[in-house]
Structure 1
């Protein structure tokens, strides 16, 4: 069976986790997906279209899988998608042929055209790995193209060879026979030259050993917090606040004069004037506080957080952090990989909640989701904590985070005791440390910031609008009088905090 250009309607990208499928998908379709150097980048699957002559086939980034044996959710999804596809691009990590070829041999046993993208080709040169691509093609009898998805090397040649792809329909074989065949193939086509361990390889080894890994983790967290705060505060002080003061206040003052202070619309859109002036943190109008808080106070920390997260993702540190904390997380009923959704939740709880789907067991999904909802502040909340409490000293900010961390631990310990079941063992891909590509980091940063502006800011504005209407209708005053005895007497809050 051989495909024809006009009949190419559905293309699958298949391969092991962390082989660069998402990066290749982005190159082929131009679609914007988050590409990271840790396993499980693809949650569910991404879909886009590419142009091949007159054809516009659908390209699907299938969740990473090691086999087609339907032992977990990803493998079941992959098997289902294979049924009506016209071509499979089998993406292989060229630095780890032996492990990757098992899935390739399984694909060749099915009646579907296959072409192999021998990805991460640039790293084979750095590691002293020589691969005879022509010999590998002769062994497997399908087109094989060396690629580097991050730089775009080999992508055009890969597309040009789609028409050569054919279904080999090789004879079914046992697992033992497959591994024996893989061993012979690798021995025939791959040669490894003497290679001295690089600084990054040595650092990667140190990052995963408890004795050296824990101090490294503490240093990474401390430095990440300092960088996030430094960038965030400077963006606020030197970019966003001056921009609002010089460009936005004159517009608002004209609108204030037009609406008339004290009018219903003025209280909704402008809020209160403080001594005849607009004070963004106190006016509490839709166009004053409603815009200033998410844009000028929160967005700078969103930018700095996702910049740091993107660098750690692409550098390859997060999987090592997960393995390092695995023993500790078992006490909370989780394995180390649950730390990744929790870390992502620090930026925004929604992506963090989506990342929970990577966890296999319902029990660990529930524990992680509950811990995130109760004790993991998103970057908007963190920005408010730093902005409001930080003025009184860093020790108070540290105290709040210490309290939240204590709640997180206690909550996990309680749920681990109450919920039946055991915490699963961790099976996670540990990629090598790689110097991040700035273009990839900035692309992810842009996508995440756009998502924040589209998804989060409108809810902030709706919340401010709703509360302002309640203020204008005196509903807040009525509610305040009812709860005043509890809030001032029992909780000890000042009267100003009630309304």
Structure 2
């Protein structure tokens, strides 16, 4: 199996490859966790930034594919899903029962692939809540495969799915599509590959050196007609009643009511995370616990081992030490912020509001070559740029990921930096706050617009599921928060450790002083700031709040304060974010963004200095 070789997944001899497939936000992860238990691994799919979760169910291997609306090659998620599904042995298709007219399109495509399928008809509680009744037995009869009603988040139907997973059957195909398949079955190895050829999948056509048959639109039309026919037969009663939740969902999407609501939600998130967590909680975890108790203990241990003035002591337990800076940064500073952000993101996602935020902001973000999905890493960026850069993986195309990464690194201050910036600019009054916000917004808009014009290719359109508005389940929210936090910390901690080693090396070799001296003339002549401000900018590379805090020690006029804060916001992000940037993007792309942020910071800061000072 090609996909498993690339993913380095070990397939035991005689084991089945059980593949989970479904649209986004249908609850596949709940079924995956139920099947695999704790024996879960994650692999990065070759040539993409898409992760595939895989684990064991008995002697068989279970793989969870990205949520897609169809099997094709229009973006990374679909390519990955296609490459896993077409070589799967059993397909567990998770379907949102409330959106049969949408989800059954993928179900019929899977049936046309000639795969044994079992359907989990999930979210049946939403169906009942909306006054709809579905004839599950008739749906199973029409499709020709087992259909099991479930409410996954409540555990209903999960055991039935596990018991009947091997009852998966080949479904009933559309006669015309079957006729088309018969015509080319001798030219390919598998029926699933034959269907991809019929649907003009470029990768499959190239693999078999075949010319397009131009049947994609015809097959899609036949499949859509069949979906509509099935829905008309199995949806027995639809009261079409407008519930309070439906009205709330409408208000969330309507710009007149949705934008004020979004501003209010973001303000609450900022007050909780940017003020309470970043201030009070981090004050306890970083200053009291890590710096007050943990670091003195570590310094004492390594002082006894290597001596308090040795290079080894400074490498392991010094100001930028591997066992001082890294744990303090990750556990004391970052972990409270990451937990808080993922908790709110899980709340927004579980309530159905996060997809509506994406839909609401889609039109605005399209001017910058992004779609509404980009609002998620942008929001996360106000918590941690490192975390936000990793989440650019959810964007559909390479150009979108480049634009989003550049905007994050250039214009979004993280929560640690934001607190210091707010503390410095608030006493200056509304005039200087407006200058700061306007400057950053102009840079954001110009950078996004220019990159959108210059980068080749096209950005993807927003195709996003709008699930029903619901009250979040606390157990589900906490589980998502823990899972995402753990994955982030596991991925980011080695990068912070590497950053600490790099800074220690620069410090020990006095290269840090040379770098500071190099930037001092730019600081004085271009930004019209004291030469000591160069130290703050360089320390901002180590930690963004170190840089912002370094400005508080300088005697600055209000105009110089605004110039310095704009410059340090636009200046390169912290070293951990830089390392993640190089990990997520190509070396050329990451280097261009990194050098571009240097140039942009001094250019904009210099222009602002000419105007104000």
Q: Could you tell me the TM-score, scaled by structure 2's length?
A: 0.67
Structure 2 distance, partners of 1:46, 1:450, is: 17
Contact 2:317 2:323 in 1 (8 A): yes
1:495 is matched with: 532
How far does residue 430 in structure 1 lie from its aligned partner after superposition? 1.8
Matched, 1:121 2:124: yes
Moved more, 211-220 or 335-344: 335-344
* Larger relative helix fraction: 2
> Which secondary structure does the structure 1 equivalent of 2:92 belong to?
strand
Match of 1:382 in 2: 415
Counterpart selection for 2:281 from 226, 229, 235 = 235
The alpha-carbon distance between structure 1 residues 451 and 337, as it changes in their structure 2 partners (threshold 3 A), is: closer
Q: Where in structure 2 are the equivalents of 1:277-296 lying within 5 Å?
A: 285-296=321-332
What pairs with 1:243-322 in structure 2 (closer than 5 Å)?
A: 243-244=289-290, 247-248=293-294, 251-252=297-298, 254-255=300-301, 258=304, 261-271=308-318, 285-322=321-358
Distance across 2 between alignment mates of 1:245 and 1:350: 23
**Which of 405, 408, 422 is matched with 1:372 structurally?**
408
Q: CA deviation at 1:119?
A: 0.8
- Residue 66 of structure 1 corresponds to 69
The equivalent residue for 2:248 is: 203
Q: CA deviation at 1:215?
A: 0.8
CA contact (8 A) 1:92 1:119 kept: yes
Whether 1:86 aligns to 2:93 is no
- Output the CA distance in 2 between the equivalents of 1:10 and 1:110: 15
Answer 1 or 2: higher relative contact order, Cα 8 Å, separation at least 6: 1
Deviation at 1:118, TM superposition (A): 0.5
Task: Give unpaired runs (5+ residues) of structure 1.
Answer: 1-5, 35-41, 272-282
Distance 1:463 1:249, change over 3 A: closer
Q: Provide closer, same or farther for how the CA distance between residues 59 and 395 of structure 1 changes in structure 2, counting only shifts above 3 A.
A: farther
- Does residue 148 (structure 1) correspond to residue 185 (structure 2)? The answer is no
How far 1:92 moved relative to its partner?
1.0
Matching of residues 15-94 of structure 1 within 5 Å: 15-30=22-37, 44=50, 46-52=52-58, 56-68=59-71, 74-94=77-97
**Partner SS, residue 34 of structure 2:** helix
> Is residue 2:166 matched to residue 1:159?
no
Q: Deviations over 1:128-148 (max 9, x none)?
A: 222222222222232111112
Q: How has the CA–CA distance of structure 1 residues 231 and 196 changed in structure 2, closer, same or farther, with 3 Å as cutoff?
A: farther
Q: Given that residues 23 and 95 in structure 2 are in contact (C-alpha distance below 8 angstroms), is that contact kept between their aligned partners in structure 1?
A: yes
Per-residue deviation at 1:78? 4.0
What is the CA-CA distance between 1:64 and the residue it aligns to? 2.8
Separation (CA, whole Å) in 2 of partners of 1:197 and 1:409: 39
Structure 2 counterparts to residues 477-488 of structure 1, below 5 A = 477=513, 479-481=515-517, 484-488=520-524
TM-superposed CA distance for 1:212, in Å, is: 1.0
Query: What corresponds to 1:427 in structure 2?
Result: 463
1:48 aligned counterpart, secondary structure: strand
Distance in 2, Cα, partners of 1:33 & 1:128: 40
Give the alignment partner of residue 192 of structure 1, picking from 237, 241, 249: 237
- 222-231 or 242-251, larger mean C-alpha shift: 242-251
Q: Conserved in 2, the CA contact under 8 Å of 1:298 and 1:384?
A: no
- 1:139 has 2:142 as partner: yes
Structure 1 residue 296 displacement after superposition: 2.2
1:395 to 1:30, Cα distance in 2 relative to 1, 3 A: farther
Change in Cα spacing, 1:191 to 1:372, as seen in structure 2 (3 Å) is same
| Inter-partner Cα distance in structure 1 for 2:21 and 2:361 | 30
Give the CA deviation at 1:165.
2.0
Matches within 5 A, 1:347-362: 347-349=383-385, 352-362=388-398
Structure 1 residues 315 and 487 mapped into 2: Cα distance closer, same or farther (>3 Å)?
A: same
Change over 3 Å in CA distance of 1:390–1:114 after alignment to 2: same
Aligned residue-pair number: 469
Q: CA deviation at 1:171?
A: 4.4
Cα distance in 1 for partners of 2:339, 2:351 equals 18
In structure 2, relative to structure 1, the CA distance for the partners of 1:401 and 1:455 (3 Å cut) is farther
Determine the C-alpha separation between the residues in 2 that align with 1:172 and 1:452.
48
Q: Residue 110 of structure 2 aligns to a residue in which SS?
A: helix
Question: More displaced, 474-483 or 333-342?
Answer: 474-483
- Name the CA shift for 1:98/1:489 in 2 (closer, same or farther; >3 Å): closer
1:106 aligns with 2:139: no
- Contact 1:302-1:347 at 8 Å conserved across structures: yes
Deviations 1:209-260 (A, max 9, x none): 1111111111111111111122332322345533236632552564476355
| Partners of 1:314 and 1:43 in 2: CA distance | 24
Structure-2 change in CA distance of 1:210 and 1:165 (3 Å) = same
Q: Distance in 2 between matches of 1:322 and 1:376?
A: 18
User: Is contact 1:43–1:355 with CA below 8 Å preserved after alignment?
Assistant: no
